[in-house]
């Protein structure tokens, strides 16, 4: 009789209002209790009994209560579950299936069963994709998941790759090729097959997309022709292969292997600029003056080339640096290398004064066996041959961006805006502490930004450089022309990797429309957002696989007992993140290993410093000696401690 009583309803509403509610993200701990993180500064304790209703990462609404003079929260409403589609490891117990999500701090068994469309049989140790369909905070008695499909069986050496790609919903195979997929467009092309084009890549590269030919006129100006593989001559706009490429967006380069955007018969054969094979290209001939500047009248055209030599970075670098025994196969190839080297040095000199130079950061490469075992981790540096290709591609991309801007005013442009007003003010204030005078409004211009980088390069202070980069914006894509501050150019658009990047295929078609005087179709905002999202997912997948391989490699006894040098790359509220210089692995050093008395230890993430008793003991960019303390395969974490 009281069920629909309006007075009772009002009373319930009043009681509900009097009980304070808070919204936040659940953070689990290994000891059963958790916290509801409301913001960066405020969190509330969740007792173990209440944690049984939620999962780490859930966004919830909770009642705020006082128990034993302590603020606690009681989960009340699920706003957004952390788990929806997820990957995990299957276990069979008493003829029942369970799945353990492959996420840190989610180690509870979730009962599960295959959904109606799943035809796979599951055994303990198998990896699977699942959907969470029941949640305790929704009123369900248990957490429950449906298995969508099996990823791989136990003990497959490809587990790190297959599981990670499934987690991020990325392809793990090349696209299929059907009989009617390829149609060659017979456009007018300039025959350049007699010229001594060469390619320079890693020794194992199969998808070769750029070739170079260079000569010098009587005035000392360089004439560089950059020939780029032309997959758009085989792939029609809107065709099946074009749609596949537009979904993949990139060739996904992962440790040990790659997953191509296009079928390998295209990317590594028909379109690849393999030696002594006639190939269609989109080409650009650019004049580079004696002062290193690029003529604004670069010529774009369609052509045929036949590469005369497939060279490797290491061999070319060794020969230029007078190392090793390798030498060019003939005088013509030798001449090409020498002229390209001269052009590279000229452009580096020009960019030093007028744009921005790249930093020679270390790169790391996993040396894997045929069964995916990490044999070693190799440290690689950018050598002179890398810089030759780098400078040549910059010339091509600057020229392409100028042509697109002048004739169309749209395309897929690479942009970087430097600093916004607030961050520019922070930068100017920060630099004043080091007697460096810069005005915020000046460093927000391309010229002022380049001057700032020039001064910082001379100063060569890694701590200052690190702090300044934290204030910079991220690189982005734009459909309209815009500056790229981080490169130092007023406009930049890539078109030099069309068999690896769909955005470059788009720019190819736009450049062709200018050459052939045809109508150009402007790319839409949706395409741009897809490019950005796919690039993000690919990079996260690469990082996740690398973290997995680092753990497997460092777990070995000979590595666990080693002492490493670690560069501090970040300071958090609870410790230090470092990168091992010897192999590139990221490690975490908890505060307890830095100083035993927590009250005397202050972490300042904004300034990138750690203070002990008021004095700076660690800062970002410092190199410290560390030993590995704990290596956790289940969450791919590596814990280290200082080697005092």
Q: Which residues are catalytic?
A: 201, 207, 209-210, 313, 500
CA distance 259 to 430: 44
Structure tokens at 385: 């041959």
* DSSP assignment letter at 39: S
Report the candidate in 560, 579, 556 with the shortest Cα–Cα distance to residue 569. Answer: 579
Residues contacting residue 445 through CB under 8 Å, at least 6 positions apart: none
The SS3 call for residue 480 is coil
CA distance 364 to 381: 9
Residues contacting residue 116 through CB under 8 Å, at least 6 positions apart: none
Contact criterion met (CB below 8 Å) for 366 and 256: yes
* DSSP assignment letter at 269: I
Structure tokens at 384: 């002179």
CA distance 373 to 365: 13
Count of CB atoms within 10 A of residue 357's CB?
Answer: 13
178-202: buried (b, 16+ CB within 10 Å) or exposed (e) per residue? eeebbeeeeeebeebeebbbbbbbe
Report the candidate in 177, 111, 116, 169 with the shortest Cα–Cα distance to residue 145. Answer: 111
Phi, psi of 50 (to 5 degrees): -80, -25
Report the candidate in 200, 197, 198, 196 with the shortest Cα–Cα distance to residue 316. Answer: 200
Residues contacting residue 205 through CB under 8 Å, at least 6 positions apart: none
Structure tokens at 161: 């790759």
CA distance 186 to 226: 21
Report the candidate in 480, 521, 528, 538 with the shortest Cα–Cα distance to residue 502. Answer: 528
Count of CB atoms within 10 A of residue 353's CB?
Answer: 10
Structure tokens at 276: 């002594």
Give CA separation, 224 vs 90, 216, 294, 313, in Å.
57, 9, 10, 19
User: Which contacts qualify for 91-99: CB closer than 8 Å, 24 or more apart?
Assistant: 91/124, 91/125, 92/122, 92/123, 92/124, 97/122, 97/147, 99/128, 99/130, 99/145, 99/147
560-580: buried (b, 16+ CB within 10 Å) or exposed (e) per residue? eeeebebbbebbeeebbbbbb
Contact criterion met (CB below 8 Å) for 362 and 386: no
Phi, psi of 14 (to 5 degrees): -65, -45
Q: What is the maximum span of the chain, computed from C-alpha positions, in angstroms?
A: 104
Count of CB atoms within 10 A of residue 361's CB?
Answer: 7
| Residue 7 burial by Cβ neighbours in a 10 Å radius (0-12, 13-18, 19+) | exposed
Contact criterion met (CB below 8 Å) for 138 and 103: no
Structure tokens at 478: 């734009």
**Tokens 């022309």 map to which residue?**
481
CA distance 136 to 311: 61
């Amino acid at each position: 009789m009281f069920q629909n009583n309006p007075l009772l309803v009002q009373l319930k509403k009043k009681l509900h209002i009097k009980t304070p509610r808070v919204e936040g993200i659940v953070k689990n701990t290994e000891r059963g209790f958790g916290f509801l993180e409301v913001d960066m500064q405020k969190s509330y304790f969740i007792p173990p009994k209440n944690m049984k209703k939620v999962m780490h990462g859930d966004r919830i609404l909770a009642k705020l209560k006082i128990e034993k003079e302590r603020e606690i929260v009681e989960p009340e409403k699920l706003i957004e579950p952390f788990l929806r589609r997820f990957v995990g490891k299957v276990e069979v117990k008493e003829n029942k299936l369970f799945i353990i999500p492959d996420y840190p701090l989610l180690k509870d068994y979730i009962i599960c069963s295959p959904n109606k469309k799943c035809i796979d049989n599951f055994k303990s140790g198998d990896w699977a994709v699942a959907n969470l369909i029941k949640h305790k905070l929704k009123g369900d008695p248990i957490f429950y998941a449906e298995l969508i499909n099996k990823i791989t069986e136990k003990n497959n050496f490809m587990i790190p790759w297959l599981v990670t790609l499934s987690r991020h919903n990325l392809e793990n195979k090349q696209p299929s090729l059907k009989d009617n997929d390829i149609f060659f467009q017979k456009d007018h092309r300039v025959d350049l097959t007699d010229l001594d084009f060469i390619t320079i890549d890693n020794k194992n590269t199969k998808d070769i997309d750029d070739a170079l030919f260079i000569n010098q006129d009587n005035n000392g100006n360089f004439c560089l022709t950059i020939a780029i593989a032309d997959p758009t001559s085989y792939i029609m706009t809107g065709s099946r292969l074009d749609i596949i490429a537009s979904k993949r967006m990139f060739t996904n380069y992962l440790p040990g292997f790659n997953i191509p955007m296009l079928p390998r018969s295209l990317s590594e054969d028909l379109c690849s600029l393999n030696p002594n094979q006639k190939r269609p290209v989109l080409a650009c001939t650019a004049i580079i003056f004696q002062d290193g500047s690029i003529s604004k009248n670069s010529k774009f055209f369609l052509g045929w080339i036949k590469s005369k030599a497939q060279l490797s970075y290491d061999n070319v670098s060794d020969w230029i640096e007078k190392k090793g025994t390798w030498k060019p196969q003939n005088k013509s190839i030798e001449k090409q290398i020498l002229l390209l080297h001269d052009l590279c040095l000229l452009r580096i000199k020009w960019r030093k004064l007028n744009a921005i130079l790249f930093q020679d950061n270390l790169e790391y490469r996993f040396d894997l066996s045929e069964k995916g075992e990490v044999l070693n981790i190799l440290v690689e540096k950018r050598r002179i041959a890398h810089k030759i290709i780098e400078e040549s591609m910059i010339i091509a991309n600057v020229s392409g961006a100028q042509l697109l801007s002048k004739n169309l005013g749209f395309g897929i442009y690479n942009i970087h805006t430097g600093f916004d007003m607030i961050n520019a003010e922070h930068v100017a204030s920060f630099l004043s502490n080091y007697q460096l005078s810069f005005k915020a409004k000046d460093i927000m211009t391309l010229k002022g930004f380049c001057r700032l980088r020039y001064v910082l390069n001379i100063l060569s202070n890694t701590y200052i450089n690190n702090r300044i980069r934290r204030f910079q914006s991220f690189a982005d894509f734009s459909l309209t022309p815009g500056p790229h501050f981080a490169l130092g150019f007023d406009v930049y658009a890539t078109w030099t990797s069309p068999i690896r990047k769909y955005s470059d295929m788009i720019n190819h078609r736009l450049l062709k429309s200018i050459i052939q005087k045809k109508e150009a179709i402007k790319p839409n905002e949706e395409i741009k957002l897809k490019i950005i999202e796919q690039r993000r997912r690919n990079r996260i997948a690469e990082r996740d696989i690398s973290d997995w391989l680092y753990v497997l490699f460092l777990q070995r006894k000979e590595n666990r007992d080693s002492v490493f040098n670690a560069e501090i790359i970040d300071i958090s509220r609870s410790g230090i993140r470092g990168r091992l210089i010897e192999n590139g692995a990221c490690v975490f050093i908890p505060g307890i290993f830095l100083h035993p008395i927590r009250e005397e230890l202050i972490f300042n993430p904004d300034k990138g410093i750690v203070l002990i008793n008021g004095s700076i003991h660690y800062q970002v960019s410092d190199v410290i000696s560390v030993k590995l303390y704990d290596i956790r395969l289940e969450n791919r974490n590596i814990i280290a401690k200082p080697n005092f």
